[in-house]
Structure 1
Amino acid sequence: MARSWPFAGRAAQLTEIRSAVRGVVVVGPPGVGKSRLVAQAVHEAEGVAWVRATAAAAELPLGAFAALLPSTPPAGNPLGWAADAVRAPVLVVDDAHLLDAASAALVHHLVTRGRTKVIATLRTETPAPDAVQALWKDDLLPRMELGPLTAQESAAILERALGGGVERSAVTRLWQASRGNALYLRELVLSGVLAEVGGVWRWRGPLAITPSLRDTIAGRIGDLTPDEREVLEFLAYGEPLGADLLSALAASAAVERLEDRQLVTVDVEGRRLQVRLAHPLYGEVIRRGCGTLRARKLLRRLADTVTETGLRRREDVLRVAVWRLDSGAAADPALLLAACDRARMVRDLDLAERLARAAAAAGGGLPAAMALGTVLFYADRYTESEEVFAAAWKLEMDDNSRTNCGVSRAFNLFWGLGQVERAMALIEESERSVTLLHARQGARGTRASLEAFTGDLDRATATLRSAMTMSPFTEPRNVRAFGTTEATLLAVKGSAAESLRVVARTEAVLDSVPHALPSLRAALLEAATQAALHLGDLDEAERYADQGRGLDGEFGAWARAVVEFGAHKARVLRLRGRVADALAACREAAVRLPPRGVWAGLCLGELAQAHALLGEVAAAEEALARAEAIGLPIGPPVVVPVEHARLWTLAARGDVAGAVAAALDLAERALPVQVPFLLHDVVRLGRPSLVAARITGEGPLVALFARHAAATTGAELDAVSLEFERLGLILYAAEAAAHAARCHRDKGMTRTARAAQTRAWALSRRCQGARTPALLDLDVPDLTPRQREVALLAAQGLTNREIAERLVVSIRTVANTLYAVYEKTGVSDRTALTDLLG
């Protein structure tokens, strides 16, 4: 961790303070970072004097300025004497709301006199002396309202402070807990709530606060009457609470007083008024002040009161169940199971497990066992999940329950433990053991989805077709599941456009379900991402990947979503040429891998390939070794990414021939959706003649791959490069431009070769250090500092005369310099130069 807490963001505010001629008043809540912002703004300024106002100094006239004034005041005008004594060109007045009247008048006098730039900070909604208020009311100084840090600013600060990447869910939790308050954010990090795993900082909870932060918050809360404390206690355990509900629990007058003191907020949500604590960390302090017996009493009252309202809101079931558990009240299995389902849907898997176990202990029977087994599966605890499902399988159950249990257990065996044959056998047993047609139909459709993942597409297609013809779709679950399986099969077969049409149709069905069904949605988004990539639509592919990554929920507990879609996001970034960003995305995903798992191959394959493209051979081989050790190679979706990375590791090691042979071999074993990319790799590695006749398929990207393979002239390769760039595939565009340069050079076309090579160089600069064989021998255009300066000005649209005037040289000198630039870069006019230099 950095020794001093770093500064990040606030660029616009920094500029405003630095550019203010007379000064500025910075206003914001406590801890938002006012003083740090001002300190950063004046860091490099000369002659800065600081005045830090305090309540103690306010007892004395000019007390805050004591350090800047001579020890003996004059007999005459004390204000003029004090103003003359403050000779600093810049004066910073921190916490100006605490100034005594004389000090405030001095600040006002310094501003009106205009010799000193005054920068003052004060708290929002805190009374300030009249002379300070006059600074902005009389338009003497602008008033800057400083809000909390954004999530992005918080992330930047955390990465600089910790010296490494911070998991997205951890950033979200810290930002929500701190509400963007810079002081609170720092103290939360110092509490040790984060831990470094694999180079990524992760939340290790539960939330903790340091003693200094606790004291700070307690001071902000201040003294409370008994009825005010009761209101805060109910909110600490139950927020948000409806205003009417809270009035039934505590005194309304106390709520009003707390709102006036800005300790609670009241927001309009639809037709309801919702009351919350003004800051989530207030709840931590309030709860720490409650004893066990009082806390249980509060929880029971909350549960009873909300239950009396009829549990009208979806989250009421979850809240009431948790309150009853925590209060030690008798458990209702039905309530606990409904709450468990809700907790699983929002991906709070720790809470879902706790509720499922409580339901089982309360006599929940088969439904409780099914809930527990499912939660353990989502939590990557596959062996425990199998134990629960195996015990449940022996119980008496109806056809629907038998199918649900069989499918859930098969999913765990297949996706969790990699036991393909056992999973398939269990699905077949499930189908044989039931008589209801829709139950048998559901089991058979599930088998099709598993067969598709193993790469047996013909069998999967036949199985799905037979399931769909067993009977009309009457069971909504089968409609959703079959649509997802159909979209997946179409995607992996390379029928991308048709797959996306099925995705859209199935999404509409999923959206009609009260619960979002994250597992089915994940499978559907997986198909959509694959299809969009096959079509070369990187924007859509990234959108689908981001949606999938968001399925882990607010608490970031569902590792599959993080790993699977983190890898897909990394692939999109890699294709965009953002190789270092792809590496960072994979690292964050990789820390969530279980000790053994199916998705390790997809994630670690992308990680290894990013390392290989950056020339980091040892790191790539380490990732490949880890993939071999912990991956479950049950199908091409997770096998091919590893082998794909292996061939690029060979190339990074210098064995291009071995990489080409590996790509050709892998293309024979890959899914149809994977084949065009593998064959195009052969083109990228410089052997287009080996695959020119083999790259086929639908969509503009596959057609462009074929054009790249078939191109025989520099002009054709130039056109291919431009089209790759238009699609956003910057790495491919750079490589095609490098191929064009070699082709031009072989034909003796020196100038066009230089232009293509310069373009390849410019594109490669956007690829964050990628070092593929096509890019290794690129020469950086050898521009002198003066040539670069003239080139940049010309690219901005300045005429030769304007450049000459700015650089104080002759127009002839500018013209000669530009001619040399054109010769070195291979371009011939300002428009081309602008494109080259971006």
Structure 2
Amino acid sequence: MTLGSWPFTGRAAQLAQIRSASRGVVVAGPPGTGKSRLVAQAVHDLDGVAWVRATAAAAELPLGAFAPLLPATPPAGNPLGWAAAALRAPVLVVDDVHLLDAASAVLVHHLATRGTRVIATLRSRTPVPDAVLALWKDDLVPLLELEPFTLEETMAVLRAALGGQVESATAARLWHASQGNVLYLRELVLSGMLTDDRGLWRWRGPLTITPTLRETIAGRIGELTAREREVLELLAYGEPLGADLLVALGSFDAVHRLEDRQLVTVQPDGRRLQVRLAHPLHGEVIRDGCGVLRARSLMRGLAQAVAEAGLRRREDVLRVAVWRLDAGMTGDPGLLLAGCERARVVRDLELAVRLGRAAVAAGGGTPALAALATVLFYTDRYGEAEQMFATVWEAELDELARTDLGIQRALNLTVGLGDVEKALAVLAETTRLVSAVEMRQATYIMRAVVATIAGDLAVADELLARARRLGPLSPHGERAISGADAALMVARGRPTGCLALVAKIRAGLDREPDAMGSLNAALIEQATTAALLLGDLDTAERLAGEGYGLDGQFGTWTRAILQFGTLKAHVRRLRGRLGDALAGARDTVARLPAPSTLAGSCLGELAHAHALLGDLDAAEQALAQAEATGLPIGPAAVVPLRFARAWTMAGRGNVAGAVELCLEIAKSAFSCDLSFALHDVVRLGHPELVAARLAEVDVEGPLVALFARHAAARDGAELDAVSEGFERLGLLLYAAEAAAQAAARYRDEGLHRGARAAETRAWGLAQHCQGARTVALMDLDVPELTPRQREIAMLAAQGLTNREIAERLVVSVRTVANTLYAVYDKIGVNDRTALATFLNRPASPAATRPPPPIF
């Protein structure tokens, strides 16, 4: 990408405001917010625009900025009148109006009073000439404050600039690094640190600063005294720093001057004042200017000062450990190990690995190896983690260390390596080696968790009961067993109880200084699934967002991104936002390690979205990738793939096969999946096969009741009511499908007015589903085909012969031929080629044709 190709995007409201400002406007904002580009975009198609670009050098001369627009020889008389008479352009644009000399500022003010449309840019919080200030103070023109880009605006700019989707974690990092400054953002992108990973742009490697960006930031920092530079260097390696500490290490006057120059910010944090650099990229430039010896000296000073102050804040141990390590002081394994644990808690996992390895190298022994193995698990290095766990397993350990090790190793074996059998063996051995009640209870609870993951709920029940029979549980044990109970509740279709239990446990966790990240993630996952089962999509989306935010500032906890990114895509799919679901699933899959126990859920969601959008080749590719890389350890890893395969089959025209697969899913699925499997049969057009079972499903909540009502609906009016019920819950795809089925049922009943109304409703709902192409919505593409006609038409469009279709559907060849002739007549085509062209159009005609009238 070149500088010239950087697109203009966003700022639509501000662009409209400037274009509609008949008297003009002053656009103010911090440096790099795109003020000049915005104004240029606003006036690019106007005639008679005069441009003035103010500079500090031009301000040395009266009217210096206007020199290119004025005659070469000034008059002997009134220079202001002469200049005003020479400027006849109806629109005057002044870039960096704060840099104007006094005479030029007066000229701009005079032109504004004369009726010239003045559009100016201004750096916020910068002294301006009185005549410029009077532009908006005297209400000659309005002042438009331009804020830095939000995260959402940054993502839109990146998509436009890169011509493709940007990973959400990458976009968040770029936004954090640039602070919404579009100039900085552009230079970061142009540095080349982004790579195109199968159509998804991702951040790879360290942050890179281009020479242009370095010069821009250095110019913004400006000249510094020795004390000022020292303060900025200390912040570059240690921010945030307490104001008292920074003053003790540097100088109060230097800090004060830097705050006045807006190079640092000072903000209250409890009873302390915390000082930070005004922009994250300032630290990159300052560090770049420090030599190795200077950097080590600064970090040693910081480590000593904070350690002497008593390590009073939770983050101090981590900060001192990192400073000492980076300064070459690696001799304290205890400090390094404490820093490793703190980095793991705050989910700076790569830093945790670095500190863990340093603790091992410094002689930290078995505790350091165990801690390193744990953080390797969190960073998806499951094989290396198991090697270390196995090494530590052979050491002499007390019961607490043995229990913790057995649980962590079993977790790594289960969700990391997919080896449930070995995980259960490790836990059984752990139970045998410990005698304390609390330790044995912990092993039983973990065995129940593994059994639940593997799909054996009865065994999980027995193990939890065994833990309770041993005696009262500790507070930690109560939380752990409640988490296991929550998973069982949602699996059995008890979402209300699950949500109440999760809320209770999380309220307790919130009162602790360091909430248990892994337990919190498990609880949020169960609660999200429970909300989905209730049809409460708002709560599900909120919870999935909370879970996604557990991955730390820079997205290092991949498992949280995978789990909750997939759940977010799932919620969007149920809302009918299929394009958004697809984008979210693709974003998630980009982080998927291979092999993985999460491949089934992540790739299943991706394939499902592709299938519902009619991109069946892409759906099958995702399914094949899951087959090759997935570790199918239980229902959560298998069921999403089977759902996606059913809808891919339906898209290929094999509706009968899709129905059969959904019925198979229903035979073995947990209750939380059972109702969706049965309802998919209804969506595929065969409610008679599942109506009785759906009526008997013992799952609480309005959604499953609506599924049963959908299956039992026997006329168009009832299907209309079902559609309205889905719409109230926010499930717009289901609502559109039910409305399309209502239209077909009305036609069968000879109620053409009702059919038209239902078809119009279905069409309107489908517009919100971002291109959905499902069996039920085929009626909007191919009106008045029966389910059998649609099925045969889809198979013929796939290239199957009449005999192959007859064999698949168990009908005669003559029946297939006669059905196809009827289809050709209704659609208006003459052969299979035209039929395939019609049915496989990339966009549904429902997306372009107007809704049918209601007669």
TM-score of the pair, normalised by structure 1: 0.91
Q: Name the CA shift for 1:196/1:700 in 2 (closer, same or farther; >3 Å).
A: same
Output the CA distance in 2 between the equivalents of 1:674 and 1:488.
13
CA contact (8 A) 1:758 1:780 kept: no
Counterparts of residues 30-69 of structure 1 (less than 5 Å): 30-69=31-70
Which 10-residue stretch deviates more, 388-397 or 128-137?
128-137
Post-superposition offset of 1:109 = 1.4
> SS of 1:674's equivalent?
helix
Match of 1:113 in 2: 114
Q: What is the match of residue 832 of structure 1?
A: none
Aligned counterpart, 1:776: 778
Would the aligned equivalents of 2:200 and 2:587 in 1 still touch at CA under 8 Å? Answer: yes
**Aligned-partner residue type, residue 711 of structure 2:** A
Q: CA deviation at 1:620?
A: 0.2
User: Which residue in the other structure is 2:378 paired with?
Assistant: 378
Report the AA paired with residue 104 of structure 1.
A
| Alpha-carbon distance in 1 for matches of 2:396, 2:151 | 51
Measure the CA separation in 2 of the matches of 1:654 and 1:43: 52
Q: Tell me the residue number matched to 2:537.
A: 538
Task: Tell me what 1:518 maps to.
Answer: 517
- 1:811 match: none
Report the 3-state secondary structure (helix = DSSP H, G, I; strand = E; otherwise coil) of the residue aligned with 2:275: strand
Query: Shift of the alpha carbon at 1:79?
Result: 2.5
What are the within-5 Å matches in structure 2 for residues 673-822 of structure 1? 673-695=672-694, 696-697=697-698, 698-778=700-780
| CA RMSD, 1 decimal | 1.8
State the shift of 1:142 in Å: 1.9
Q: Note the C-alpha offset of 1:4.
A: 2.2
Letter in 2 for 1:363: G
Partner of 1:27: 28
Residue 451 of structure 2 aligns with which residue? 451
Cα distance change of structure 1 residues 822 and 349 upon mapping to structure 2, 3 Å threshold? closer
Gaps of 5+ in 2: 784-848
Equivalent pair of 1:761/1:779 in contact (CA under 8 Å): no
Q: Which amino acid aligns with 1:560?
A: R
The one-letter code matched in structure 2 to 1:742 is A
Q: Aligned-pair distance for 1:84?
A: 2.8
Determine the C-alpha separation between the residues in 1 that align with 2:424 and 2:851. Answer: 66
Write the letter of the residue equivalent to 1:649: T
Contact 2:169-2:555 within 8 A present in 1 as well: yes
Q: What percent identity do the matched residue pairs reach? A: 65
Distance in structure 2 (CA, Å) of the matches to 1:513 and 1:388: 30
**8 Å Cα contact 2:149/2:182 also seen in 1:** yes
Q: Report the Cα offset of residue 62 of structure 1.
A: 2.7
Partner of 1:247: 247
Answer yes or no: is 1:191 the counterpart of 2:219.
Answer: no
* CA deviation profile, 1:713-738 (whole Å, cap 9, x unmatched): 11110100000000000000000001
Find the residue that maps to 1:673 and give its secondary structure.
helix
Secondary structure at the residue paired with 2:202? strand
Q: CA deviation at 1:75?
A: 4.8
Amino acid in the other structure paired with 2:544 = A
SS for the counterpart of 1:508 is: helix
How far, CA to CA, are the matches of 2:360 and 2:525 in structure 1? Answer: 34
Three-state SS of the structure 2 residue aligned to 1:777 is helix
SS at match of 1:50: strand
Equivalent in the alignment of 1:13: 14
One-letter identity of the residue aligned with 1:161? A
Q: Deviations over 1:410-436 (max 9, x none)?
A: 111111111111111111111011111
The verdict on how the C-alpha distance between 1:619 and 1:779 changes in structure 2, with shifts beyond 3 A counting, is: closer
Paired AA for residue 614 in structure 2: G
- The 8 Å contact of residues 217 and 282 in structure 2, kept in 1 or not, is answered as yes
Contact kept? 1:757, 1:779, Cα under 8 Å:
no
Q: What is the letter of the counterpart of residue 68 of structure 1?
A: L
Q: Deviations over 1:95-129 (max 9, x none)?
A: 11222333222211110111x20001122233333
**How far does residue 780 in structure 1 lie from its aligned partner after superposition?**
10
Q: Return the letter of the residue paired with 2:651.
A: A
Deviations 1:753-785 (A, max 9, x none): 10001100110111000000110121599xxxx
Match of 2:580 in 1: 581
**Does structure 1 retain, via aligned residues, the 8 Å contact 2:744–2:779?**
no
Once residues 850 and 449 of structure 2 are traced to their aligned partners in structure 1, the CA distance between those partners, rounded to angstroms, is: 58
Conservation of the 8 A alpha-carbon contact between 1:452 and 1:489: yes
CA 8–272 in structure 1, closer or farther in 2 if over 3 Å, else same? same
Q: Is the Cα contact below 8 Å between 2:613 and 2:773 reproduced in 1?
A: yes
1:173, distance to aligned residue in structure 2 (A): 1.7
CA separation in 1, counterparts of 2:711 and 2:471?
Answer: 47
Deviates more, 1:737-746 or 1:6-15: 6-15
Name 2:142's counterpart in structure 1: 142
Moved more, 179-188 or 567-576: 179-188
Q: CA deviation at 1:823?
A: 11
Residues in 1 aligned to 2:752 and 2:356: alpha-carbon distance in whole angstroms: 73
Q: Is the 8 A contact 2:763 2:851 kept in 1?
A: no
The number of residue pairs the alignment matches comes to: 786
756-765 vs 333-342, which moves further: 333-342
Please state how far the C-alpha of 1:74 moved relative to its aligned partner: 4.3
Superimposed CA distance per residue, residues 660-705 of structure 1 (whole angstroms, 9 cap, x where no aligned partner): 1111112112112101001100000000000000111321111100
Alignment match, 1:595: 594
Moved more, 138-147 or 403-412: 138-147
Deviation for aligned residue 1:14 = 2.0
Say which SS state the counterpart of residue 276 (structure 1) adopts: strand
Q: 2:270 — aligned with what?
A: 270
Identify the residue that residue 795 of structure 1 maps to in structure 2: none
Distance (Å, rounded) in 2 between the aligned partners of 1:723 and 1:487: 28
Look up the equivalent residue of 1:825 and give its one-letter code: P
Structure 1 residues 503 and 656: alpha-carbon distance in aligned structure 2, compared to 1, 3 A threshold: same
**d(CA) in 2 for partners of 1:824, 1:31:** 50
Q: Shift of residue 478 of structure 1?
A: 1.5
Letter of the 1:721 counterpart: S
Deviation at 1:210, TM superposition (A): 0.7
Q: Is the 8 A contact 1:64 1:99 kept in 2?
A: yes
1:166: how far off?
1.7
TM-superposed CA distance for 1:513, in Å, is 3.3
Q: Which residue of 1 aligns with 2:820?
A: none
Unmatched tracts of structure 1, length 5 or more: 782-820, 828-838
- Matched letter for residue 640 of structure 2: P
**Contact 1:331 / 1:358 at 8 angstroms: preserved in 2?**
no
* Distance in 2 of aligned mates of 1:257 and 1:496: 58
| Superposed displacement of residue 56, structure 1 | 2.8
Match of 2:854 among 822, 826, 836: 826
Amino acid at match of 1:701: L
Residue 204 (structure 2) pairs with residue 176 (structure 1): no
Counterpart-to-counterpart distance in 1, 2:268 and 2:12: 33
User: 2:840 — aligned with what?
Assistant: none
Deviation larger for 606-615 or 434-443? 434-443
Show the counterpart of 1:791: none
Q: TM-score, normalised by structure 2?
A: 0.90
Alignment of 1:204-603 (within 5 A): 204-474=204-474, 476-603=475-602
Cα deviation, 1:768-825, whole Å, max 9, x if unaligned, reads: 00000110121599xxxxxxxxxxxxxxxxxxxxxxxxxxxxxxxxxxxxxxx99943
Aligned AA (2:715): T
